């Protein structure tokens, strides 16, 4: 980018020590939906409230937070379109259109924005509790509704939640039942029993199984062996369970699987993975029917399948491969007494899955509901052709450097199964007015323009990201966060500017200034292929973080 005016935003007010009313409290942790949030600065206490930095704080609840430097306001939103607005130093805040009062005002502390975490999480629909003895704030999603119906021989159970939940599914014998645990989820519906008498299910029992950590349990008393499909709606947090009788090849229900109890341990012979485009199937072969449970974990997303009273004959097995959805499949003897075999499937992101069993074969179909499904990301390498952009003191051209970075971002997104369009893929001239137009006409839902910065003072350095509209703020902040983590460069933060490419797209749009090509040290770093790879990974990570939260527009 050409030289930029130095002062666009008002200066931040930063305390070198805790602001009045804030007390340092070493060792305070925030655990959200089972995730020990890696706070970017130690949490502090104010008026009995845990004050925590906003960066990354709300993402395990499926929400994003951003700070507007211009008017010192903070906005937190989630996929259900709940919006919390507040300002630094003020106790008045809004939840959607309702005005409320905070017990402690947001503060700027050593350059980071701190907010009263319990109140904000509660406004987003979460259950919260601060355990003084453990110095830990616990936050969980809540289950607010359960609806069940049988249609075409399939029992469909819809579970409404206020945030992301993980499930643990297991089949138990004597009596036969299917158990689905919703981990780190507080039940806010009346515990009840529901008679079904169809689809292989006698009845459903729902209750709060555990309160530390919170686990809500749903038990399906079975009339026959069943298979279950677990799906999660990325836009609404709705979890859908579909239960259907498992039919044998002859068309009649198979006999209940043999369990290893009383007849020695079951032998698990091995694990294979069968790719199918962006989807895939994990196949577990054993000497008989398996009693199992399957559990979801996050950060990173993975499935863990535990097979009870089972010996893993290969002792240890690890499958690593190139796949759009699955990173690795690992299997090993988890415990010896009692013998438990564990298979861990590490995913690139949360996936829907289907579990079925046929004799001595357990099948887990990963059906690859992509985070970026429905999105089209427009990547715009700045300048090009007859416009080389800024040129460094050593002769490095901005247009060449940002094209290489942009192409790497494209490849990383495509590996994730996310659709990408490039404004240019060669050293071609694309007029400035045409860049947002091309993105609009292609149906892009996200726009990222990539540049290298320049300044008349050769000592100026660092990275910064520009945005203009409120819908673009979170995208800018996530990319800038990642740049700061990966590069080790000074972060110049996120800023607003009325650049044409940010004005005329109508979608979340950012302009990323990766480093100062006018600075001899940063020019040298930009010329290094490894540094450009780290830049591209940081931008890719920021975009995918945003896509995990921001729903794609509904298809027309």
pLDDT band for position 22 (50/70/90)?
Answer: low
Q: Give every CB contact of residue 508 below 8 A, 6+ residues apart in sequence.
A: 445, 446, 447, 469, 471, 472, 474, 475, 546, 550
- Of 88-97, 305-314, 519-528, 541-550, which range is least confident? 541-550
- For 404-421, the pLDDT digits (tens) are 999 999 999 988 778 999
The residue with tokens 């935003």 is 9
Phi first, then psi, for residue 29 (nearest 5°) are -115, 155
pLDDT at 369: 53
Q: Are the C-beta atoms of 43 and 51 separated by less than 8 Å?
A: yes
Start-to-end C-alpha separation, the chain: 37
Residue 3: other Cβ atoms inside 10 A: 12
Q: Is the pLDDT of residue 299 over 80?
A: no
DSSP 528: -
Report the percentage of the chain scoring pLDDT > 70: 88
3-state secondary structure 238-253: CEEEEEEECCCCCCCC
Q: Give every CB contact of residue 521 below 8 A, 6+ residues apart in sequence.
A: 461
Q: Give every CB contact of residue 386 below 8 A, 6+ residues apart in sequence.
A: 429
Q: Are the C-beta atoms of 230 and 250 separated by less than 8 Å?
A: no
pLDDT band for position 181 (50/70/90)?
Answer: very high
- What architecture (CATH level 2) is domain 260-368? Sandwich (2.60)
What count of residues does the chain have?
556
- Of 106-120, 188-202, 364-378, which range is least confident? 364-378
- Of 54-58, 110-114, 246-250, 265-269, which range is least confident? 246-250
The residues of the chain that CATH labels 2.60.40.3500 are 140-249, 260-368
- Of 216-220, 395-399, 491-495, which range is least confident? 491-495
The residues of the chain that CATH labels 3.40.630.40 are 376-549
- Tell me, rounded to whole angstroms, the distance of Cα 164 from its chain centroid: 9
- For 369-392, the pLDDT digits (tens) are 555 567 899 999 999 999 999 999
pLDDT band for position 171 (50/70/90)?
Answer: confident
pTM of the full predicted structure?
A: 0.60
Token pair, residue 459, equals 């000592």
Q: Per CATH, which fold does 23-124 belong to?
A: Copper Amine Oxidase; Chain A, domain 1 (3.30.457)
**What is the rounded CA–CA span in Å between residue 505 and residue 437?**
7
Q: Give every CB contact of residue 421 below 8 A, 6+ residues apart in sequence.
A: 376, 377, 378, 379, 438, 439, 442, 444
Highest averaged pLDDT of the listed ranges 30-44, 291-305, 387-401:
387-401
pLDDT band for position 297 (50/70/90)?
Answer: confident
Mean pLDDT of 315-331: 88
Q: Are the C-beta atoms of 166 and 183 separated by less than 8 Å?
A: yes
Q: Is the pLDDT of residue 554 over 90?
A: no
- For 467-510, the pLDDT digits (tens) are 998 778 889 988 987 887 767 777 888 888 899 999 988 899 99
* Continuous segment of H or E residues that includes residue 276: strand 266-276
- Of 24-33, 104-113, 325-334, 523-532, which range is least confident? 24-33
Q: Is the pLDDT of residue 254 over 70?
A: no
- For 32-88, the pLDDT digits (tens) are 998 899 898 999 998 889 999 998 899 888 888 888 777 788 888 876 768 899 999
The residue with tokens 């600075």 is 519
The residue with tokens 């005005």 is 99
Q: Are the C-beta atoms of 153 and 244 separated by less than 8 Å?
A: yes
Q: Are the C-beta atoms of 333 and 285 separated by less than 8 Å?
A: no
Q: Does domain 376-549 have CATH number 3.40.630.40?
A: yes
The residues of the chain that CATH labels 3.30.457.10 are 23-124
Token pair, residue 184, equals 């780190």
Please tell me the chain's helix, strand, coil percentages from 3-state DSSP, rounded to the nearest 5: 15, 45, 40
Strand, coil or helix: 11 = coil
Nearest to 143 by CA among 73, 214, 83, 88: 214
DSSP 392: -
Q: Does domain 140-249 have CATH number 1.10.1370.40?
A: no
Token pair, residue 423, equals 């404004």
Q: Give every CB contact of residue 431 below 8 A, 6+ residues apart in sequence.
A: none
What is 83-128 written as a DSSP string? EEEEETT--EEEETTEEEE-SS--EEETTEEEEEHHHHHHHTT-EE
pLDDT at 368: 53
**What is the rounded CA–CA span in Å between residue 434 and residue 330?**
48
Q: Which residues are catalytic?
A: 513
pLDDT at 549: 66
């Amino acid at each position: 980018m050409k030289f930029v005016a130095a002062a666009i935003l008002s200066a931040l007010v930063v305390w070198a020590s805790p602001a009045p009313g804030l007390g340092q409290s070493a060792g305070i942790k925030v655990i959200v939906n089972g995730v020990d949030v890696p706070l970017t600065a130690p949490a502090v206490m104010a008026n009995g409230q845990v004050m925590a930095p906003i960066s990354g704080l709300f993402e395990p609840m499926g929400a994003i937070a951003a700070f507007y430097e211009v008017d010192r306001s903070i906005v937190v939103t989630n996929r259900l379109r709940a919006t919390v607005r507040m300002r630094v130093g003020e106790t008045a805040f809004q939840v959607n259109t309702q005005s409320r009062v905070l017990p402690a005002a947001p503060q700027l502390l050593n350059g980071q924005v701190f907010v009263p975490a319990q109140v904000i999480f509660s406004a987003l629909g979460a259950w919260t509790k601060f355990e003084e003895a453990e110095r830990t704030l616990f936050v969980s999603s809540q289950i607010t509704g359960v609806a069940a119906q049988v249609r075409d021989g399939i029992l469909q159970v819809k579970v409404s939640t206020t945030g992301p939940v993980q499930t643990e599914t297991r089949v138990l014998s004597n009596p036969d039942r299917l158990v689905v645990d919703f981990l780190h989820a507080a039940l806010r519906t009346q515990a009840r029993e529901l008679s079904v008498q169809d689809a292989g299910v006698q009845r459903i029992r729902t209750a709060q199984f555990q309160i530390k950590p919170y686990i809500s349990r749903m038990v399906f008393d079975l009339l026959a062996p069943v298979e279950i499909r677990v799906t999660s709606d990325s836009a609404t947090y709705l979890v859908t369970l579909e239960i259907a009788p498992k039919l044998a090849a002859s068309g009649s229900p198979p006999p209940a699987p043999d369990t290893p109890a009383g007849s020695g341990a079951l032998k698990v012979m091995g694990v294979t993975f069968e790719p199918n485009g962006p989807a895939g199937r994990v196949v577990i072969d054993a000497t008989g029917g398996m009693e199992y449970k399957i559990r979801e974990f996050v950060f990173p997303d993975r499935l863990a399948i535990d097979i009870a009273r089972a010996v893993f004959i290969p002792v240890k097995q690890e499958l690593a491969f190139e796949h759009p959805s699955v990173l690795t499949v690992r299997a090993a003897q988890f415990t010896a007494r009692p013998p438990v075999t564990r298979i861990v499937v590490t995913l690139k992101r949360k996936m829907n899955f289907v579990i079925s069993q046929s004799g001595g074969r357990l099948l887990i179909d990963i059906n690859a509901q992509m985070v970026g499904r429905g999105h089209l990301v427009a990547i715009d390498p700045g300048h090009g052709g007859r416009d080389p952009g800024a040129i460094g003191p050593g002769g490095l051209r901005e247009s060449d450097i940002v094209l290489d970075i942009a192409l790497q971002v494209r490849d990383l997104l495509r590996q994730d199964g996310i659709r990408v369009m490039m404004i240019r893929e060669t050293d071609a001239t694309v007029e400035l007015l045409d860049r947002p137009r091309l993105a609009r006409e292609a149906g892009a839902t996200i726009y990222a323009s990539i540049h290298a910065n320049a300044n008349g003072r050769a000592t100026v350095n660092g990275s910064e990201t520009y945005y203009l509209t409120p819908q673009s703020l979170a995208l800018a902040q996530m990319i800038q966060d990642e740049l700061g983590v990966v590069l080790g460069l000074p972060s110049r933060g996120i800023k607003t500017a009325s650049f044409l490419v940010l004005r005329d797209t109508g979608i979340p749009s950012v302009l990323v200034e990766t480093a100062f090509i006018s600075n001899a040290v940063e020019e040298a770093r930009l010329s290094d292929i490894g540094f450009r790879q780290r830049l591209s990974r940081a931008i890719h990570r920021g975009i995918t973080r945003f896509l995990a939260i921001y729903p794609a527009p509904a298809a027309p």
